[in-house]
Amino acid sequence: IMIDVDHFRLFNEEEGHDAGDTVLRKVAEAIKSMLRPYDLAARYGGEEFTVVLPGAGEVETMTIAERIRQKIAQIEFVATSGRTRHVTASLGCATMPKIAQEAVPLLKAADEALYQAKRSGRNRCGSYRARRLPGFRRAPGRSLHRRCFPRSGRHHRRYDC
């Protein structure tokens, strides 16, 4: 799972870098609280995080991603001015070995799903299905398309991106 805090640069510019660091710590705590004991979360750079879910398939990955998204959306930051700011994030998911056989193509797929989620309105989870990137393989009998899920998190109501 690739996670990017929505509009973080704007937040950082308006509230300052110390406030931005506080928000990133709160986001990291929210992510960690939603993971299983053997999962791995790391800051990937800037306002991006990566989560590795060993053994998780597409449905389980999307379920955990949606829980993370909802937990992050509960974060409220009160600025020194007294203004309350809400934090949201966009998430992109890809699974191994269904989508990719190696880490680099898997990260590229999750990153593409992340940016599709951002282009679809932010504060949502997107999933990538194998398509055009090196290292991808087609799963037998599976259609090849990206998917974005509505904010409600009801995965049975999918919207093609």
Q: Rounded CA gap, 33 and 128, in Å?
A: 25
Q: Quick one: tokens of 151? A: 């904010």
Query: What number of other Cβ atoms are within 10 A of residue 136's Cβ?
Result: 22
Closest CA to 21 of 31, 4, 8, 6: 8
Catalytic residues: 47
Per DSSP, the three-state class of 37 is coil
Q: Is the peptide bond before 150 cis (omega within 30 degrees of 0)?
A: no
Which region, left, alpha or beta, applies to residue 82 given φ > 0 means left and ψ of -120 to 50 means alpha? Answer: left
β-bridge partners, 41: 51
